[in-house]
Structure 1
Amino acid sequence: MSGHQQSAAARAGAASPPRRGIGAIVRGGFSFCFGFAAAYALLRIEPLLAGEQAEALAIGAGLLGGWCSTVIVVLTGEVSRLRRSDAELSARNEALADRNWELEEAAHRASTVLDSQGDLIVLRDSEQRIRLANDAFCAMAGKPREALIGHRFAFNVLDHGADFIEADGTRVYDQKIATQNGARWISWREGWVRSDAGEPAELQCVGRDVTDRINTERALAEARDLACAANRAKSRFLAMASHEIRTPLNGIIGMSGLLLDTGLTAEQTTYVKAIKTSGDALSSLIEELLDYSKIEAGKIDLDLRPFALTALIEDIAELLAPRAQARELEIATYVDERLPAQVVGDAARLRQVLLNLAGNAIKFTETGGVALIVEPGLMPDEVRFLVRDTGIGIAPEAQARIFNDFEQADAQTARNYGGTGLGLSISDRIVKRMGGRIELQSQPGDGATFEVTIELPAAEGDAATAPPFTAPELDNQAVMLVGRNTIEASLIARRLERWGAHTCTVVDPDVAAALLPERPWHALLIDRAIGAAEVAALAAAARHHATHRIVMLTPTERHELQTMDAALTGYLVKPLRAASLAARLALPTADAPGIASDDGDDSADSERSVAVPAPSGLSILVAEDNEINALLMRSLLTRLGHRVLISTDGEQAFDAWIAAVSAGTPYDVILMDLQMPRLDGIEASKRIRAGEISRGAARTPIFALTANTLGDERTACDEAGMDGFLIKPLDRDKLDEALASIVAGRCLAA
């Protein structure tokens, strides 16, 4: 109930008792008049009633007295009631006075609260006249309240900020206004509120001084812009530094490789290998730093394409095998056959992560080995990659921080094993960018298991769903595995059991020989690590007990095959490929005449060697301004039988191309350095492509030579019409592959 309604009710209640008293007086007066008239009439009766005058007079007087008594009684009651009503009225008036005092006190408190607020509060009517303004508003306006109430007033607005309407209709906006104390930013909340007694609604505005917040936000925005500019400058610096470092590094690695091909003494060979190893280590460090820079800048772009999962994992193991075998460690793989043959994802980024994890596992393992296991995940299309080692392990308190930038398990680890501490950080960010997660389980001294889980949907098409190889029929067949290290043997046994075989893993060759007569064995797989003599003796003992007698060895041990006993029926190169193992066990059961006949089979070595036409006889234009790199390119290409012309800048390269086309002897391929004086490789390539169109000349393949691995430069090369991208330090195999593709294309055209 409003204050006006309460006052009206109080007035009505106070007026009711007097009205009732007046009515009683009026009724008593009427009664008196009526009685008096009746008595008077009786006394004035005609003489017909003269005999009875005395009695009539008595009756009349009695009636008159009765009525008078009645009137007196009524009047007395009404007087008492009037007194009570007067008391009640006094009490009510006193309560109303108390209530009015309370309302005044509440209004005073409300006014005090409004005035004590730091926010600006103002009420306006429908015509924008101010009806209420607190002290903060008056102070900001620089005017007394009397000069504002009833008037239209608005601040001088210098600038506008954000402006939007909330769901309840409240308008929220920012204004920069001019005040006596300088420009201030005010954040306003503005909405209509109802007034009392049916009066028109009022516009309530509450403003807060947010100058400090706005200034902070703008300072942060400026700092962010400066940081972005610094980051772009850093990226340009890294690109330049990368090129400047890689250019001499290319010469160091390339020349050391050429030097190793010459006749050197044993001591000289050792020194040159040390130079090449140091150069390769420096190149890996540069790659790691550049990857970190790209990830930090958020420039990780995923290239989602179908790829063969088994081939990827086995290629990684094969790539790391020389490093592991040099430390007398095993490296083995297992890809669950329930997984699709081909999946869709970024194979290059996944290879980078797994290479880092497996490489770390080898680095921190002294004995035993490393296993790469791939299994289906818990969710559809999920794939789990396990990298398990038997190394030094990681303490629980160090497991969380090793994924941070430039962090390792402890200072002792950094001193003993080296590294920048960026590999796991980069891997973690790449996995998260792929929508996956990376987890670690480890205890000091018990090795470590890194688990990478990402979503890799199956590729479409019949070729993508077909198994990568045909599994052999091994149902109820017995296979014995003999080896001192159980990592590879355990994974082989796991695969054989999935193919239906009964496996028996033995560590001691004597125990294996004793078990041979117990049953017929479909295959005996012997690890060369038990010793060459032990392999020969066990193979001879198994001649009449095992159909297949296969030795497993490293590529460096292949020269021992010629001296091993003829009882062996074949060999497999470690790390084993599943297709090679399946093909070997699926051979006919008749004894082979010796292991020499296995060279043409689908062994690991034959599977890994790819027939590539030898690139020879190409006419090659090389645009390279660095003398050492130019010498390196000339030496490499000349050894391969190519004809080479060196130009030191883009203009010379363009002129050389024009001269060759005009003479009718165009170059077969152009190797174009990107950063050269006078005219860079991008502009030179654009001129050559434009010249081909204007002259009607055949298209010449152009490969970029660059030390910059950032994506912007790759895009520029594509836009310039280049056909390939070769990174410095130059990889001889990739150069051979690029030139082989040119030869193959030329042969097909012929």
Structure 2
Amino acid sequence: MRRVLLIDDSPEDREMIVQALRSDRETRHDITEAASAQEGLSLLHGDYAFDLIVLDYRLPDMEAPEFIQRFLGNDRVPKLPILVLTGSLEGGLPIQGAMRSGVQEFLSKSQVSPALLSRLTANAIERHKLVRRLDASEKAASSARQREETARRAAEEARSAAERADRAKTQFLALISHELRTPLTAIVGFADILKDDPTNKDASHMLSMMADSGNHLAELLNDLIDMAKVEAGSIDVEPASFDPVALLKSTCELMSMRAAEKGLRLESNIDESLPDLVWSDPVRLRQIVINLLGNAIKFTSQGVVSIVARPSDTANQLEIRVADTGPGVPEDVRDTLFTPFVQGGKGGGSRREGIGLGLAISKRLAQLMGGDLLLESTSTEGTVFRLELSFPAATATGGPPPGFAPNEVVSNDGPPDLTGRRLLVAEDTRANQFLIRKLLEPTSAEVILVENGLDAVRAVSDGETPALVLMDMLMPRMDGYEAALELRKHRYFGPVVALTAATTASDHDRCRKSGCDEVLTKPIDTSEFYQTLRRLLNA
């Protein structure tokens, strides 16, 4: 059964075509008639399924080429074979354009006969099948070419990305090498001088610069660790209840000394209407503010650095602006100012300073604390950064439980009196052994020093009962984790303090699960070291 859609406005011509098709003895025809192009299009878009379209060239509402274009839509080949009927072929073929658009056969009405029409309809159907296969093949080839092009572009992009990564790595290593070697040059150089001449008249000044260089190295390592946490999505924000005015004022007092060293004034305006207690991360807030003020001081050679802190117009929000009178942020780095390892400018002179991590870390911390860090304005007359933070009062929903109070700051940062107390120190690095001995000398504690975890366990097993154990976590023979576990197995119940260069929360959790009571991070903060001893030994 061959289903045919016959579209012709002449009833007589339709009858002629119907009779010719039904005279075919080999193929039966189911013929649907339409008197206009629009009616034919409606039937094609309906539920009817046809095998062939027989189309009159000239119809009252449109001619065959327009009909074919509408039927084609976005296709290159019509979904059905089309045989076009025309009144005359005189003057050339009137449907050459239509033929190129997908017409399979054409026939003059004066030539219609059952045999010819049967042969042409069969040819049209077979030719349409061939054209459809060719079109599918071309589409497949085109799709393959597109896939190849896509793969080529992906490979090119991967190569470019690898080259960019390689350049970035080279730049990073060069930058880190410079930043490490600069303070190390001072530390090693001054150490050699003082080793040969301990009474050098500039000894005090050299020791001070060695300490500054060491602090710079510690800050660099902390920034690198924080940036690694940011990239891994594991940076810690630990909310607590604290007095925001006291924290900001103490931070400004600390940074005012750094500003004074450069001959700058640090002006602060901390709004006293801020809540007495808020629920946020005081350590991270202090870190961000120190970074902003430190940058402002670094990049300002003369004038004023100022900080203004006030409640935002948005409820439970803090707004801090840090401004300077420096040369401004260069235009070529403004768009990448918060990108890691991109330096923001020149520090009041001709060379760039730092490794470009502070602002990237600070922005991420601000976002983790429910806010953001933005470059508000910059010009040759100065720069303004705006810090916005979520700052709910401590009694707000989600804050600490009723009666929570912030940790009291221990005002006595000096060494505690540990006279008569015995401390066991497990540390394999000679420089750290010497440092810890020197830190403990003012406490008058008796120090037992061992070089690995196994010797620490043996000392306790042999009858030593130290008041406290200071345990390096990475040592030969037996590390601090295993040693702390063994000490607990040997029923040592005194405090164990982990000394570790690892800074992540998971690392500290591992120390505590091993049996340590406290964790101190290297490089050792002297004040924190003494406070920990005082707290654990009630000294």
Answering whether residue 113 of structure 2 is matched by residue 113 of structure 1, we say no
For residue 715 of structure 1, give the secondary structure of its aligned residue in structure 2: helix
Deviation at 1:679, TM superposition (A): 1.6
1:730 maps to: 524
Deviation at 1:370, TM superposition (A): 2.8
Retained in 1: the 8 A contact 2:306–2:322?
Answer: yes
Residue from 205, 212, 215 that aligns with 1:280: 215
Residue from 625, 629, 638 that aligns with 2:428: 625
Residue from 665, 683, 700 that aligns with 2:494: 700
- Return closer, same or farther for 1:210/1:328 CA change in 2, 3 Å cut-off: closer
For residue 312 of structure 1, give the secondary structure of its aligned residue in structure 2: helix
- Return closer, same or farther for 1:12/1:301 CA change in 2, 3 Å cut-off: same
Retained in 2: the 8 A contact 1:396–1:442?
Answer: no
1:374 maps to: 309
Residue from 402, 408, 425 that aligns with 2:337: 402
Measure the CA separation in 2 of the matches of 1:217 and 1:646: 62
Measure the CA separation in 2 of the matches of 1:709 and 1:95: 81
Retained in 1: the 8 A contact 2:266–2:304?
Answer: yes
Within-5 A mapping of 1:466-481: none
Retained in 1: the 8 A contact 2:470–2:499?
Answer: yes
Retained in 1: the 8 A contact 2:373–2:388?
Answer: yes
Normalised to the residue count of structure 2, the TM-score between the two structures is 0.63
- Return closer, same or farther for 1:332/1:670 CA change in 2, 3 Å cut-off: farther
For residue 310 of structure 2, give the secondary structure of its aligned residue in structure 1: strand
- Any idea what the Cα deviations from partners look like across 1:45-71, whole Å, max 9, x if unmatched? xxxxxxxxxxxxxxxxxxxxxxxxxxx
Measure the CA separation in 2 of the matches of 1:343 and 1:136: 73
Retained in 2: the 8 A contact 1:405–1:421?
Answer: yes
Retained in 2: the 8 A contact 1:307–1:342?
Answer: yes
Deviation at 1:358, TM superposition (A): 0.6
Answering whether residue 472 of structure 2 is matched by residue 673 of structure 1, we say yes
1:326 maps to: 261
- Any idea what the Cα deviations from partners look like across 1:451-471, whole Å, max 9, x if unmatched? 1012121111899999x9xxx
Within-5 A mapping of 1:341-420: 341-394=276-329, 399-410=334-345, 415-416=350-351, 418-420=353-355
Within-5 A mapping of 1:37-186: 102=64, 106=68, 113-114=76-77, 134-135=132-133, 139=137
1:10 maps to: 11
Answering whether residue 340 of structure 2 is matched by residue 422 of structure 1, we say no
1:492 maps to: none
Retained in 2: the 8 A contact 1:309–1:343?
Answer: yes
Retained in 2: the 8 A contact 1:358–1:387?
Answer: yes
Answering whether residue 418 of structure 2 is matched by residue 616 of structure 1, we say yes
Ranges in structure 1 where 5+ consecutive residues have no aligned partner: 16-93, 117-130, 141-178, 187-207, 469-606
Deviation at 1:97, TM superposition (A): 7.6
Residue from 440, 447, 452 that aligns with 1:649: 452
2:535 maps to: 741
1:457 alignment partner AA: P
For residue 678 of structure 1, give the secondary structure of its aligned residue in structure 2: coil
Measure the CA separation in 1 of the matches of 2:384 and 2:506: 37
- Any idea what the Cα deviations from partners look like across 1:709-740, whole Å, max 9, x if unmatched? 24442232233232222222222111111101
Deviation at 1:139, TM superposition (A): 5.0
Structure (1 or 2) with the greater helix fraction: 1
Deviation at 1:412, TM superposition (A): 7.5
For residue 457 of structure 1, give the secondary structure of its aligned residue in structure 2: coil
Measure the CA separation in 1 of the matches of 2:268 and 2:401: 21
Measure the CA separation in 2 of the matches of 1:333 and 1:308: 17
Retained in 1: the 8 A contact 2:343–2:352?
Answer: no
Answering whether residue 521 of structure 2 is matched by residue 718 of structure 1, we say no
Deviation at 1:377, TM superposition (A): 1.1
Residue from 274, 277, 282 that aligns with 1:339: 274
Ranges in structure 2 where 5+ consecutive residues have no aligned partner: 17-53, 80-127
Measure the CA separation in 2 of the matches of 1:276 and 1:441: 35
1:635 maps to: 438
For residue 403 of structure 1, give the secondary structure of its aligned residue in structure 2: coil
Deviation at 1:368, TM superposition (A): 4.1
Answering whether residue 496 of structure 2 is matched by residue 687 of structure 1, we say no
Deviation at 1:677, TM superposition (A): 1.1
2:416 alignment partner AA: A
Deviation at 1:620, TM superposition (A): 1.4
1:317 maps to: 252
Measure the CA separation in 1 of the matches of 2:260 and 2:243: 26
Q: How many residues align structurally?
A: 420
Measure the CA separation in 2 of the matches of 1:447 and 1:315: 25
For residue 494 of structure 2, give the secondary structure of its aligned residue in structure 1: coil
Measure the CA separation in 2 of the matches of 1:454 and 1:647: 47
Retained in 2: the 8 A contact 1:381–1:458?
Answer: yes
For residue 113 of structure 1, give the secondary structure of its aligned residue in structure 2: coil
Retained in 2: the 8 A contact 1:615–1:743?
Answer: no
- Return closer, same or farther for 1:308/1:633 CA change in 2, 3 Å cut-off: same
2:375 maps to: 440
Measure the CA separation in 2 of the matches of 1:647 and 1:219: 56
Retained in 1: the 8 A contact 2:300–2:347?
Answer: no
- Any idea what the Cα deviations from partners look like across 1:130-175, whole Å, max 9, x if unmatched? x9793268759xxxxxxxxxxxxxxxxxxxxxxxxxxxxxxxxxxx
Retained in 2: the 8 A contact 1:623–1:650?
Answer: yes
Measure the CA separation in 2 of the matches of 1:212 and 1:283: 51
Measure the CA separation in 2 of the matches of 1:327 and 1:103: 84
Measure the CA separation in 2 of the matches of 1:611 and 1:347: 19
For residue 305 of structure 2, give the secondary structure of its aligned residue in structure 1: strand
Deviation at 1:608, TM superposition (A): 9.1
Measure the CA separation in 2 of the matches of 1:670 and 1:210: 68
For residue 337 of structure 2, give the secondary structure of its aligned residue in structure 1: helix
Retained in 2: the 8 A contact 1:620–1:643?
Answer: yes
Measure the CA separation in 2 of the matches of 1:338 and 1:742: 37
Retained in 2: the 8 A contact 1:440–1:451?
Answer: yes
2:388 maps to: 453
- Return closer, same or farther for 1:714/1:137 CA change in 2, 3 Å cut-off: farther
Retained in 1: the 8 A contact 2:264–2:304?
Answer: yes
For residue 375 of structure 1, give the secondary structure of its aligned residue in structure 2: strand
